[in-house]
Amino acid sequence: MVLVNWEDSNIMHGWRVPEETTEDRVADCQTIGFVIADDEDKVILAMGKSSLGAVMECITIPRSCIQSIRELRLK
């Protein structure tokens, strides 16, 4: 199980003048999950897994968005 800190895109709603667009930032995100795949392009996490080997609610995070990955220990 890992904690991934990563950046995601953000969206501006409604009409704005160009000067206002510099106020928006990317979203800082944290996701906890089980590592399903890990390669040079992406990390895939599952939010849950069963004793039968099935996984649920997977998210693919591009490596270019990842700031850090920390392994978590279960008690």
Q: Tens digit of pLDDT per residue, the chain (75 long)? A: 999 999 999 887 788 888 877 777 889 999 999 999 999 999 999 999 999 999 999 999 999 999 999 999 877
Distance separating the N- and C-terminal Cα atoms of the chain: 12
Please report the pLDDT score of residue 2 as a whole number.
97
The 10 Å Cβ neighbour count of residue 7 is 16
Backbone angles phi, psi at 72, to 5 degrees: -105, 145
Please report the pLDDT score of residue 33 as a whole number.
96
Please report the pLDDT score of residue 75 as a whole number.
77
For 7, 15, 24, 35, 75, the CA distances from 59, given in Å and listed in that order, are: 14, 31, 24, 10, 24
Please report the pLDDT score of residue 40 as a whole number.
96
Please report how many Cα atoms fall inside a 13 Å half-sphere around the Cα of residue 29, on the Cβ side: 15
